[in-house]
Amino acid sequence: MSFRKLGLTEELARAVEKLGFETPTPIQAEAIPSILEGRDVVGTAQTGTGKTAAFVLPLLQRLGQPGGKVRALILTPTRELAQQVESSLQELGRFAKLRSCTIFGGVSQRGQEDALRRGVDIVVATPGRLLDLLEQKVVSLSSIEMLVLDEADRMMDMGFLPDVRRIVRLVPAQRQTLLFSATLPPEIRELTRTLQRDPKFVEVGGSGTPVVGVEQRLFPVPPHLKCDLLLHLLGRETMRPLLVFTRTKHGADRLHRVLEKQRHKVARIHSGRSQGQRQEALEGFRRNHYQILIATDIAARGIDVRNISHVINYDIPNNADDYIHRIGRTARATATGLAYSFITPDEEDQVRSIERSLRRKLNRIRLEDFAYDAPPQPKTGSRSESNPLMERRAFRAAPAGPVRVFDRFAHSGNSRRPAAGAGQRSRPGFGAAKPRSGRGDRQEFRGKSNSWSEGSMGAPSSEEQAELKRLQRKLFGSGRTRHRHVLS
């Protein structure tokens, strides 16, 4: 099967060839002909299966010639994904004359306004900043012919559905609507009923299942030894490029400091970093300037880097959807990859829930040459220092010091109370993370599943731990409901 056989124009087929795509992926083969016919489509596909090209190619073809008005709107949950879609539009539309721009928060509005004034055919936007520009009448959606909701389940998780509905009310009813989602929870099914007309459902490989080429392994480890385990693995295996997921931005910062001190080429992206810093990190990772990228879930959403060899869940995610999205960052399209997850005794519930969703038990690995019985590390005086090797030395020198909490869940298996000294710092963001300014930042703070962690700092207090447990119960309660469709 070739791209030409799907009914694509010569110029699009040439652009595809230039990217080195030889045959359409299953989601492309299924979705492209229906979209070209003008049908509404609901696409459920595993992450990394080529879904972006599945809607970008027919969208470019249906729009045809430039018209000087915004005729297609692509909504994405994150800035990174918006940029990723925009670069696919540029690459696949290299022989077309259509113009596109991105609209997202966290950067100045000026450049986006200028691009809109010059005239674009396609807008790729996150909901918050788009609503701002709509309110200011900088952009009009009255000429939209095609509407795409990308990663709709993630938009829902991030609390964007009311914004999406507000935006859709400003789009003409006479339009073609495409919706892509890794999973189809009831809320998304309801959305398709209200936004689409007789959509064609295209499901590839079953929703909620990880990419085929990923080999998954679990590494049980005491909480205080997670960092040592990571350093140990880095010493015994070639992991290039490596993507590491932490639950919180502060966890990402701490790990970054440790790895930098160990002279690893490492970058990080999370909601506390500016757009410029995130771009620099991603670009550097793409160009192999950084060997390791540390990321939190929200920031990692749009990462599309070829040939990631390993994904490490330094902290296990809260639900199976996030797990699948995370490990889908490796084995993109046709490659293979390894996904390691560090699991502490406290995280067994999450692991069981993930295994239930995957409908299989994952391999548990115990390394012969790793000291699983090493004691927790002592406090060294400076909480900002997180180099476990340095701390091990300090421990030998002063073994009687109070226990130092390094990981977010350190000691929570033994006691619900934080270790001595922990919890005495102020934690300005916990449980009430505040947007810095404007709507553009909102997306980072709304997450039903992430807002608590993105805004938290340091080791958890007992209050925080109770809140964390409550949220986990809530998430896993709803998680079970949400995954029922996957199992049925």
Burial class of residue 381, CB neighbours in 10 A (0-12, 13-18, 19+): exposed
Q: Choose, by CB under 6 A, the member of 26, 43, 50, 455 that binds ligand AMP.
A: 50
Find the shortest distance in angstroms from Cβ 260 to ligand AMP.
Answer: 28
Question: Judged by CB under 6 A, does residue 52 bind ligand AMP?
Answer: yes
Q: What minimum distance in Å lies between the beta carbon of 168 and ligand AMP?
A: 23
Q: How far is the CB of 28 from ligand AMP (least distance, A)?
A: 6
Q: How far is the CB of 237 from ligand AMP (least distance, A)?
A: 24
Candidate ranges 47-55, 227-235, 263-271, 359-367; the one touching ligand AMP (CB under 6 A)? 47-55
Q: Which of 25, 176, 181, 341 binds ligand AMP (CB under 6 A)?
A: 25
76 forms part of the interface with ligand AMP (CB under 6 A): no
Q: Which of 452, 84, 150, 73 has its CA nearest to residue 300?
A: 84
| Sequence-ordered strand ranges (E) for 270-366 | 292-295, 310-313, 337-343, 363-364
Prior bond of 241 cis (ω within 30°): yes
Q: Is 53 in the site for ligand AMP (CB under 6 A)?
A: yes
**Min CB(221)–ligand AMP separation in Å:** 31
Residue among 24 and 208 whose Cβ is closer to ligand AMP: 24
Of 44-52, 112-120, 359-367, 439-447: span binding ligand AMP (CB under 6 A):
44-52
By CB under 6 A, the residues from 315 to 354 that bind ligand AMP are: 332-334
Considering only 26, 32, 35, 51, the residue that binds ligand AMP (CB under 6 A) is: 51
d(CA 107, CA 332): 29
Burial of residue 299 (CB within 10 Å: 0-12, 13-18, 19+) is: buried
Which of the ranges 50-58, 173-181, 390-398, 430-438 carries the binding residues for ligand AMP, by CB under 6 A?
50-58
- Among positions 274-313, residues that touch ligand AMP (CB under 6 A) are 304, 306
Rounded Cα gap, residues 221 and 227, in angstroms: 10
- CB nearer to ligand AMP: pick between 333 and 374: 333
Residue 302 C-beta: closest distance to ligand AMP, Å: 9
Residue type, 273: R
* Contact pick of 15, 24, 32, 151 for ligand AMP (by CB under 6 A): 24
49 binds ligand AMP (CB under 6 A): yes
Closest CA to 41 of 198, 165, 188, 204: 198
What the block records as the tokens of 331 is 């084995």
Which are the contacts of 110, defined by CB distance < 8 A and separation ≥ 6? none
Count of residues in contact with ligand AMP, rule CB under 6 A = 15
Candidates 43-51, 68-76, 99-107, 409-417: pick the segment binding ligand AMP (CB under 6 A).
43-51
Q: Does 128 bind ligand AMP (CB under 6 A)?
A: no
- The answer to whether 121 and 69 are in contact (CB under 8 A) is yes
Binders of ligand AMP among residues 77 to 116 (CB under 6 A) are none
DSSP 101: E
Which range binds ligand AMP by CB under 6 A, 24-32, 92-100, 144-152, 242-250? Answer: 24-32
User: Which residue's CB is nearer to ligand AMP, number 330 or number 449?
Assistant: 330
Q: Which residues contact 100 (CB under 8 A, 6 or more apart)?
A: 86, 89, 90, 93, 120, 121, 122, 123, 124
Supply the minimum distance, in Å, between the C-beta of residue 231 and ligand AMP.
30
Q: Collapse the DSSP code of 181 into the 3-class scheme (helix H, G, I; strand E, B; otherwise coil) and give the result.
A: strand
Q: What phi-psi label fits residue 421: left (phi over 0), alpha (psi between -120 and 50 degrees) or beta?
A: left
CA torsion through residues 420, 424, 430, 434, sign: negative
Q: Using CB under 6 A as the criterion, which residues of the chain lie in contact with ligand AMP when the complex forms?
A: 21, 24-25, 28, 48-53, 304, 306, 332-334
